[in-house]
Every structure is written in structure tokens, then in C-alpha cells.
């Protein structure tokens, strides 16, 4: 045990002491925030950076030329059809001043067909603008054509949008407003966290194994301890590194959240202790009903979710980390490693996609199966968790996961103890099977 | 005779159908410098790994001090593998202490001993530098320190002198002899025969997974001597052949002595007496084969 402790401590200190660890720990949250902010920023710059483009509207119908209103992006100029005998020539003569030409045919009332021409590719927002505005106008025109007085008003008033609240009872019948979106976000965040963690730290383990092997230090180490101790020391040490990183992020988020809360909505946020709460609240801070949102965020029952998350996280990590260690010991150089890990990464990607697919139907057969199979369950179950998974399924899935993880550790240990001492040639799958049996 | 420290008894090891060690016996007396010789691929590393308990033999046993080896016994072994390696990103001092503690040394003891050894090798100022900053020779010394720091009773060196320049190799040799004098038993694996003659008392020659020659270096040389005598004459006269007593050998590369090989059954004294009668002798001595020659001869004929 003393040796294991030493190995864990060394692994931990070496990685945490690296500059790259400190940089990555600080950089990843920033990058993630940038990623979230990027779409908004792009949209913002798209909408404001350029001047509005001019679009000619040739109105053969004589009624709808002015139907399309300008917006920030486009300025529409209605023209009477008889002033423009040839649309293409007209476009040419404009010398690039025109972005496009819209032709509203004379029979548009019956066909509802309109064409937009340009020598450039016509962008989506223009098409949307034209079709939405004309659809509205044409609909109104058609309604009016029935000659029923007040029909338009009736239609307007009879259009209903249902405001669906979902309320979850607890045992005592107390009502808690829940939000599927919040549950979904929590599940996805946890699934993604598991996925990232396993891949990131799995790769770290593998690189460590390969480094020791190419360094040849491994021979000295295993003359002092069992290969199994070295492997487990590495796996546990790296796990602790990951948890440290996670803890740092949680603290950072909480600090950022606390600052945000004092700036934006002190009362509402003081209730939100959790990371998700802070995050969701931050995003929504100025245009939502803060208290309501926070209540929804809090209504998800976190304790069982977090407990299961930790269990799945550890099990899944153990399973994949041991595979990475085993594969790492069987290859000679980092360059061969990517080939060896392709199957592992593919399984992880499948798990992530399965998890996303399960959002649609978190208790459907696919979700249930994928949350049972140990290789996908750590990711998929995270998505299902907020939707109250039956206890027997949880138990079965966890038992399966840990049994498989134990099996993987056993197999990896057998590959490892042989692989680390063999240099200079590639090992066939058959050979590796022999190591496992031996 | 001193008692045996390591006994390898009838050890067999197979890898994937090929036999790495075929019924190997080895007896290493306590306090001895023992040479394990053999061409590459003969099975030396396999044997060393078994003694180190890195791998396990298929059959046979290894005794330490008369008892079958247990896992705890590896704390008494210091192993310097042929392929050297250290954690490049770790600091010299930390690394030595880490390896020492893995062998079971206390933290404080490890640190103090590490400083003593660094001082002995003039590496004190490098204690807090990373290994990657060291020259190759310095890294080798660091590795040597890591091998011996926990005061092992058995030291296993696999090609210890490879990668050392002559000055450092000499320093290393002196350290090894000093450790032997302090009571350590040393197992030396090499195919560098000169170093064997310089330090080893006993050897085992392994070829094709089997021990083909074993014993005291002196005795082996006597066994393999071919009755060759180097004769030096006064002046520049040449020795003529003598059909009855000896034949002339091609002159050696260095020195001006003539090498003669006695015919079978001829007594040295008769040949010398005859030579003394016919030539003015300046000196003569028996030429024993070098370990290198014995090695090559044995490996060829085996």
C-alpha cells in the first residue's frame, strides 16, 4: 500500500506541477465561455457590421410591391412591372448595387409563388424575410377576399398558444414546477463531462504508460513494485488530478457566479448554490424571471443525481482508464497509440450520440439498453438521470458497470505486465490474447 | 568457501514457444562479483528478470540466503538495467528519493543518503535540476545512485559500463569494488570481456539459453590454456621451429616476444631447457587465453 501511495503521489504531483496543467485548467473554462458566446457574437456582428442591402421588388400583380418591409439587413425598393421590361438587364445595369431582384407575378393570389433572382447565392435571411412578409400579406388578402366582416379579427383572437407548465408532485402532493429544459441541460452537462473526462484523462494515462515504456524506466520501477501497483497508481493518480481540476472549476464558477449575482440579481441567485444554477442564471440574468428560473433549477432533485453521477463517473473512468493503460503498454510509441485507441474513442463517441438521442425518449428501449451496456452507460445514464430512472435499472446498470470495470482492470493488468517489458515490435491481437491467458 | 547468497536451481522459462532459459543453475556466493556472460539474446536478461521477480520462471526455483525468494526480498536488490531510463521531467533529487522509497527506504534516510551520493559524484548542484538537463554521463551516474542508494545486498548490473567514458567507467568500477568490500554481492551481466577479467571472480557463460561454462575465472583460464609460452630473446635473433618440442605461432600484434605452442605431452621444463641451451633467453611466461578468446571459442563450438 505504501508503494501504491508513493506512485499515486508521484503521478499526481508530476501532472499538477506542470505548467500545461495550470494553463489548461484556467483556459478551458474561458474557451468554453467563448464557445457559448461565439454564436451570439457572430449574429451580432452579422446584423450590424454591414449596411443594408438593396433589393428590387418588381410587382407584376400591382398590389403587393410595398408588402415587404425593410429591416436592418435589407432595403426593399418596389418597382412597377412596366418600368422594368427585363429583370436581368435591370440587375446588370445596377452594377452590383442590387443584392437581388424579387418578382411578384400577376397571379400571385392564386399560386402564392414568388421568385427571387440574383447572380450571387441568395442568403437564407433574405429568403425568410420575403416569404414571411408576403405570406402574412397574402393570407390577410385571402381572408379579406371572403368578404366576411371582422373575419380577420376573429381569426386573430381565436389563435391560441398554450402555455404549458409542468408540475411535479412529491410524495406529499406538494407542487414543484419543473422544467424539461433544465433537466435536459443538467443531464447533458453531466454526460458531456463524463465523456470529456474519460477521453482526456484516459489519453493522459496512456501517454504516461508509453512515456515510462519508451524511457525504459519501467524496468527499474517494476523491479521495486508489482506492475499492477504501477498501473493502478497511475490510474488513481490521474483520477485525482481530474478531480482537482473539476474542483478548481467549481470554485471558479462559484466565484464568477457570486460576482454575477451581486451585479445582476442578488436575491434570486443567493438561493442557487449549484454550478448549473449559477450558469443558467447568468445566461438569463437580465431578461427572465430570475426567481422562477432558479426555482426550476432547484426543483431538479440533485442529491440522487450527484450520487449516481459520482458512481458512474468512477466506474466509467476505471473501465476506460484501464483499457487505455492496457493499450498503451502494448504499443511502442505515441505514434502507434492513436491507432490503438481508435476503437475506444469510437465507443465513446457512440455513447455520446446515444446519450443525445435519448433526450427524445429518455425511457425508450434504446435509452434503457444503452444505459445498461457498461461501455455506454456512464454517458447515457447521465442523460436519463433527471427523468427518474427506476431504481432496479439503476442498480442493475451500476452492478454491470462495476463488474465490467473490474474485468477490464484485470485484463488490462495482464496485458500491462507483459506489454511494458516488450520493446521493438508490434504485437498482434492474437499475441495480446495470449498475454491475457498467460 | 563463503555461503551462497543467490542460488538459481534448474530454472526454465519459455516465451511464446521459444525457450529463453533451459534448466539453468547458478550459484552466487555472498560478497562475490559474479559475471553473467553471453551473446545478445542468450537469455541473460530473462534470468536477471527472474531473479528480480519481474517475471516468474516456469519451473525451478531461486533461493536467496538459502530460502526461496519472496516478493519482499526485492527490497534487497538493486538493479541497473541495460536500457537506462529516468523520468525526464523529474528533478534529480526527487527522482532518486522516489526510487529509493519504492524500495522501502524512509523519506529522511533516502534524502540524506541521496545527498551523500550526489556529493560523491560531484552532482550536488544538480539536485534540483530536471533530469532532462543532465548530460548522458551524468544521467548514468544518477541512475547508478538510484540503483545502490537503498544499500541492497545484491546488485545486478546489466552492461554497467556501456555509455561511460573511460574516466567515469573507472570511477564506477571503483564504486562497485567499494560496494563489494562493504559486503554487497554483485551480479554482472555483460558481453564486454575486459571488464569481466578486471573485476569478476566467477562467471557463468550462457549461450542459447543454457549455461555452457561456469566457475572461477582463474580455473577456467587454466582449463582453456593451450600451452602457449611467450619467449623473449636477447638481441634480435629469431627462434627456429622445433618439430619435437613446439611449433611457432604467428607473432602477436604487440610486443616482440615469440609465441610458441608446446606439442602435446611436452613438459614446459623440457622446452625451456632446450631453448635455454640454444638461445640467450631474456624471459618467458605462460600465455593464458583471454576471457574474450574463451568466450568466442566456447560460443562457436557449442
A12, A240 in Cβ contact below 8 A?
yes
Which of A7, A10, A217 is closest, CB to CB, to B85? A217
Q: Is A186 exposed, middle or buried (0-12, 13-18, 19+ CB in 10 A)?
A: buried
Mean pLDDT over B52-67 rounds to 90
CATH code: domain of residue B131: 3.40.50.300
> Which chain B residue has its CA at the smallest distance from A227's CA?
B54
**Distance separating alpha carbons of residues A298 and A271, to the nearest angstrom:** 9
Decide if A161 touches B, using CB distance below 8 A: no
Q: Write down the pLDDT at residue A59.
A: 85
Q: Are residues B74 and B216 in the same domain?
A: yes
CB contact under 8 A, A220 and B99: yes
**Distance separating alpha carbons of residues B221 and B230, to the nearest angstrom:** 16
Please tell me the distance in Å from A23's CA to the nearest CA on chain B.
17
Tell me, what's the ipTM? 0.83
Q: Are residues B80 and B173 in the same domain?
A: yes
Cα angle A159, A163, A167; round to 5:
160
CB contact under 8 A, A6 and B102: yes
Which of B49, B55, B81 is closest, CB to CB, to A220? B81
Q: Are residues B278 and B175 in the same domain?
A: no
Find, among B35, B31, B22, the residue nearest to B157 by Cα: B35
Task: Tell me which of B189, B221, B253 is where a domain ends.
Answer: B221
> Which chain A residue has its CA at the smallest distance from B78's CA?
A223
pLDDT at B11 over 60: yes
10 Å Cβ neighbour count for A282?
A: 20
**Distance separating alpha carbons of residues A101 and B109, to the nearest angstrom:** 88
Q: Are residues B193 and B111 in the same domain?
A: yes
pLDDT at A285 over 70: no
Sign of CA dihedral A336, A341, A345, A346: positive
Q: Are residues B135 and B151 in the same domain?
A: yes
E strands along A119-165, which residues? none
Residues of B at the A interface, defined by Cβ within 8 angstroms: 16, 49, 52-55, 71, 74-75, 77, 79, 81, 83-90, 98-99, 101-104, 143, 146-147
Cα A376 to Cα A169, A173, A223, A371, B294: the distances in Å are 31, 35, 37, 6, 63
**Distance separating alpha carbons of residues A336 and A419, to the nearest angstrom:** 14
Task: Tell me which of B192, B221, B250 is where a domain ends.
Answer: B221
Please tell me the distance in Å from A274's CA to the nearest CA on chain B.
38
Mean pLDDT over A275-292 rounds to 50
Mean pLDDT over B22-47 rounds to 89
Looking at per-residue pLDDT, the higher value among A131 and B302 belongs to A131
Predicted confidence band of residue A292 (pLDDT cuts 50, 70, 90) = low
Q: Are residues B154 and B61 in the same domain?
A: yes
pLDDT tens digits for B116-145? 999 999 999 999 999 999 988 889 899 999
Contacts of residue A258, defined as CB under 8 A and 6 or more positions apart, other chains included, come to none
CB contact under 8 A, A215 and B85: yes
Q: How far is CA A435 from the centre of its chain?
A: 39
Best mutation target, B47, B54, B55, B136, to test chain A (most A CBs within 10 A) = B54
**Residues of chain A contacting B95 with CB distance shorter than 8 Å:** none
Best mutation target, A224, A227, A237, A414, to test chain B (most B CBs within 10 A) = A224
pLDDT at A266 over 70: no
CB contact under 8 A, A224 and B146: no
Q: Write down the pLDDT at residue A290.
A: 55
Grid cell in block for residue B135: 548530460
Contacts of residue A198, defined as CB under 8 A and 6 or more positions apart, other chains included, come to A316, A317, A320, A321, A348, A378
Q: Are residues B280 and B141 in the same domain?
A: no
pLDDT at A354 over 90: no
For the residues of B79-144, what is the DSSP string, one character each? EE-SS----TTSBHHHHHHHHHHHTT--HHHHHHHHHHHHHHTT-GGGTTSBGGGS-HHHHHHHHH
Regarding beta strands B258-262 and A53-59, do their DSSP bridges make them parallel or antiparallel, or are they unpaired? Answer: unpaired
pLDDT at A284 over 60: no
Mean pLDDT over B218-241 rounds to 84
CA Rg value for chain B = 24
Q: Locate cell 490521474: which residue? A: A238
Q: Which domain holds residue B164?
A: 4-221
Grid cell in block for residue B147: 540503483
Q: Are residues B143 and B210 in the same domain?
A: yes
Q: Which domains does chain A have, with CATH numbers?
A: 53-145 (3.40.190.10), 176-437 (no CATH)
Q: Are residues B211 and B255 in the same domain?
A: no
Task: Tell me which of B193, B221, B249 is where a domain ends.
Answer: B221
Q: Are residues B169 and B49 in the same domain?
A: yes
pLDDT at A264 over 90: no
pLDDT tens digits for A327-352? 888 887 767 777 778 888 888 888 88
CB contact under 8 A, A224 and B81: no
Mean pLDDT over A249-273 rounds to 64
Highest-scoring range by mean pLDDT, A84-88, A287-291, B61-65, B246-250: B61-65
Mean pLDDT over A213-233 rounds to 90
Q: How far is CA A151 from the centre of its chain?
A: 46
Q: Are residues B42 and B89 in the same domain?
A: yes
Looking at per-residue pLDDT, the higher value among A313 and A123 belongs to A313
pLDDT at A385 over 50: yes
- Asked which of A369-383, A422-436, B264-278 is least confident by mean pLDDT, the reply is A422-436
Which of A217, A219, A224 is closest, CB to CB, to B87? A217
pLDDT at A408 over 50: yes
- Structurally, chain B folds into a number of domains equal to 2
Q: Are residues B109 and B254 in the same domain?
A: no
Looking at per-residue pLDDT, the higher value among B216 and B237 belongs to B216
CB within 8 Å of chain B, chain A residues 67-106: none
CB contact under 8 A, B85 and A219: yes
B71, B56 in Cβ contact below 8 A?
no
Q: Is B228 exposed, middle or buried (0-12, 13-18, 19+ CB in 10 A)?
A: middle
pLDDT tens digits for B167-208? 888 888 899 999 999 999 999 898 877 777 778 889 999 988
Q: Write down the pLDDT at residue A296.
A: 62
Regarding beta strands B4-15 and A175-178, do their DSSP bridges make them parallel or antiparallel, or are they unpaired? Answer: unpaired
Bridge partners of B262, per DSSP, are B246
Mean pLDDT over B241-260 rounds to 80
Mean pLDDT over B100-113 rounds to 94
B92, B118 in Cβ contact below 8 A?
yes
Predicted confidence band of residue A270 (pLDDT cuts 50, 70, 90) = very low
Q: Write down the pLDDT at residue A299.
A: 62
Cβ pairs bridging A and B (under 8 Å): 60
E strands along A124-243, which residues? 166-169, 175-178
B197, B294 in Cβ contact below 8 A?
no
Best mutation target, A7, A220, A228, to test chain B (most B CBs within 10 A) = A220
Bridge partners of A91, per DSSP, are none
Mean pLDDT over A351-366 rounds to 84
CB contact under 8 A, B85 and A226: no
* Mean confidence (pLDDT) of chain A: 81
> Which chain B residue has its CA at the smallest distance from A208's CA?
B87
Q: Write down the pLDDT at residue A50.
A: 62
Mean pLDDT over A233-248 rounds to 91
Mean pLDDT over B153-166 rounds to 86
> Which chain A residue has its CA at the smallest distance from B74's CA?
A224
Spell A336-366 as b/e; 16+ CB within 10 A means b.
ebeebbeebeeebebbbebbbebbeebeeee
Mean pLDDT over B275-289 rounds to 85
pLDDT at A180 over 70: no
pLDDT at B279 over 80: yes
Predicted confidence band of residue A281 (pLDDT cuts 50, 70, 90) = very low
**Distance separating alpha carbons of residues A48 and A315, to the nearest angstrom:** 49
Q: Write down the pLDDT at residue A268.
A: 44
CB contact under 8 A, B54 and A431: no
Amino acid at each position: 500500500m505504501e508503494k501504491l501511495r508513493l506512485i499515486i503521489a508521484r503521478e499526481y504531483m508530476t501532472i499538477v506541477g506542470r505548467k500545461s496543467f495550470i494553463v489548461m485548467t484556467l483556459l478551458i473554462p474561458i474557451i468554453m465561455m467563448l464557445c457559448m458566446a461565439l454564436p451570439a457574437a457572430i449574429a451580432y456582428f452579422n446584423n450590424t457590421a454591414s449596411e443594408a442591402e438593396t433589393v428590387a421588388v418588381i410587382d407584376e400583380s400591382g398590389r403587393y410591391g410595398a408588402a415587404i418591409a425593410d429591416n436592418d439587413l435589407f432595403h426593399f425598393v418596389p418597382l412597377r412591372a412596366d418600368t422594368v421590361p427585363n429583370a436581368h438587364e435591370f440587375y446588370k445595369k445596377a452594377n452590383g448595387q442590387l443584392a437581388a431582384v424579387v418578382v411578384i407575378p400577376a397571379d400571385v393570389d392564386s399560386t402564392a409563388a414568388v421568385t427571387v433572382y440574383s447572380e450571387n447565392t441568395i442568403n437564407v435571411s433574405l429568403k425568410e424575410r420575403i416569404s414571411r412578409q408576403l405570406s402574412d400579406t397574402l393570407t390577410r388578402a385571402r381572408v379579406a377576399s371572403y368578404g366576411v366582416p371582422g373575419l380577420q379579427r376573429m381569426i386573430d383572437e381565436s389563435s391560441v398558444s398554450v402555455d404549458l407548465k409542468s408540475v411535479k408532485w412529491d410524495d406529499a402532493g406538494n407542487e414543484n414546477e419543473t422544467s424539461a429544459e433544465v433537466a435536459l441541460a443538467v443531464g447533458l452537462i453531466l454526460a458531456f463531462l463524463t465523456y470529456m473526462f474519460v477521453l482526456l484523462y484516459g489519453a493522459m494515462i496512456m501517454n504516461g504508460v508509453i512515456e515510462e515504456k519508451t524511457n525504459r524506466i519501467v524496468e527499474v520501477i517494476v523491479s521495486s513494485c508489482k506492475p499492477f501497483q504501477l498501473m493502478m497508481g497511475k490510474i488513481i493518480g490521474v483520477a485525482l488530478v481530474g478531480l482537482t481540476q473539476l474542483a478548481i472549476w467549481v470554485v471558479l464558477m462559484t466565484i464568477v457566479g457570486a460576482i454575477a449575482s451581486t451585479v445582476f440579481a442578488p436575491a434570486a441567485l443567493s438561493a442557487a448554490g449549484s454550478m448549473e444554477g449559477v450558469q443558467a442564471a447568468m445566461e438569463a440574468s437580465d431578461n427572465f424571471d430570475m426567481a422562477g428560473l432558479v426555482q426550476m433549477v432547484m426543483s431538479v432533485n440533485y442529491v440522487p443525481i450527484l450520487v449516481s453521477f459520482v458512481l458512474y463517473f468512477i466506474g466509467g473512468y476505471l473501465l476506460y482508464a484501464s483499457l487505455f493503460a492496457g493499450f498503451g503498454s502494448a504499443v511502442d510509441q505515441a505514434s502507434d497509440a492513436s491507432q490503438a485507441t481508435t476503437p475506444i474513442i469510437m465507443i465513446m463517441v457512440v455513447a455520446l450520440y446515444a446519450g443525445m438521442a435519448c433526450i427524445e425518449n429518455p425511457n425508450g428501449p434504446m435509452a434503457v439498453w444503452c444505459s445498461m451496456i457498461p461501455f455506454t452507460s456512464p454517458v447515457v445514464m447521465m442523460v436519463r438521470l433527471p427523468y427518474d430512472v427506476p431504481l432496479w435499472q439503476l442498480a442493475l446498470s451500476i452492478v454491470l458497470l462495476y463488474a465490467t470495470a473490474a474485468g477490464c482492470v484485470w485484463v488490462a493488468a495482464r496485458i500491462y505486465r507483459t506489454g511494458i517489458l516488450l520493446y521493438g515490435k508490434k504485437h498482434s491481437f492474437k499475441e495480446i490474447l495470449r498475454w491475457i491467458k498467460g | 568457501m563463503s555461503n551462497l547468497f543467490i542460488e538459481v536451481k534448474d530454472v526454465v522459462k519459455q516465451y511464446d514457444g521459444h525457450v529463453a532459459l533451459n534448466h539453468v543453475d547458478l550459484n552466487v556466493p555472498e560478497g562475490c562479483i559474479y559475471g553473467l556472460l553471453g551473446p545478445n539474446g542468450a537469455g541473460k536478461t530473462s534470468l536477471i528478470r527472474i531473479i528480480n521477480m519481474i517475471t516468474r520462471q516456469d519451473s525451478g526455483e531461486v533461493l536467496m540466503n538459502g530460502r526461496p525468494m519472496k516478493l519482499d526480498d526485492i527490497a534487497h536488490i538493486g538493479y541497473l538495467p541495460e536500457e537506462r531510463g529516468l523520468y525526464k521531467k523529474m528533478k534529480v533529487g526527487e527522482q532518486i528519493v522516489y526510487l529509493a522509497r519504492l524500495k522501502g527506504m524512509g523519506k529522511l534516510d533516502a534524502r540524506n543518503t541521496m545527498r551523500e551520493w550526489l556529493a560523491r559524484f560531484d552532482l550536488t548542484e544538480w539536485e534540483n535540476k530536471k533530469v532532462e538537463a543532465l548530460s548522458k554521463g551524468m544521467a548514468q551516474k544518477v541512475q547508478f545512485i538510484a540503483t545502490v542508494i537503498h544499500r541492497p545486498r545484491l546488485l545486478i548490473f546489466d552492461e554497467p559500463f556501456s555509455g561511460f567514458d573511460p574516466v567515469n567507467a573507472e570511477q564506477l568500477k571503483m564504486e562497485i569494488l567499494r560496494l563489494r568490500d562493504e559486503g554487497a554481492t554483485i551480479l554482472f551481466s555483460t558481453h564486454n570481456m575486459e571488464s569481466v577479467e578486471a573485476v569478476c571472480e566467477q562467471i557463468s557463460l550462457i549461450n542459447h539459453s543454457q549455461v555452457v561454462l561456469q566457475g572461477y575465472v582463474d580455473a577456467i583460464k587454466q582449463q582453456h590454456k593451450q600451452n602457449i609460452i611467450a619467449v623473449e630473446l636477447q638481441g634480435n635473433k629469431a627462434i627456429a621451429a622445433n618439430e619435437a618440442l613446439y611449433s611457432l605461432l604467428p607473432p602477436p600484434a604487440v610486443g616482440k616476444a615469440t609465441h610458441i605452442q608446446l606439442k602435446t605431452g611436452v613438459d614446459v621444463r623440457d622446452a625451456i631447457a632446450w631453448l635455454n641451451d640454444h638461445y640467450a633467453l631474456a624471459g618467458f611466461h605462460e600465455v593464458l587465453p583471454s576471457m574474450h578468446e574463451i568466450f568466442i571459442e566456447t560460443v562457436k563450438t557449442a
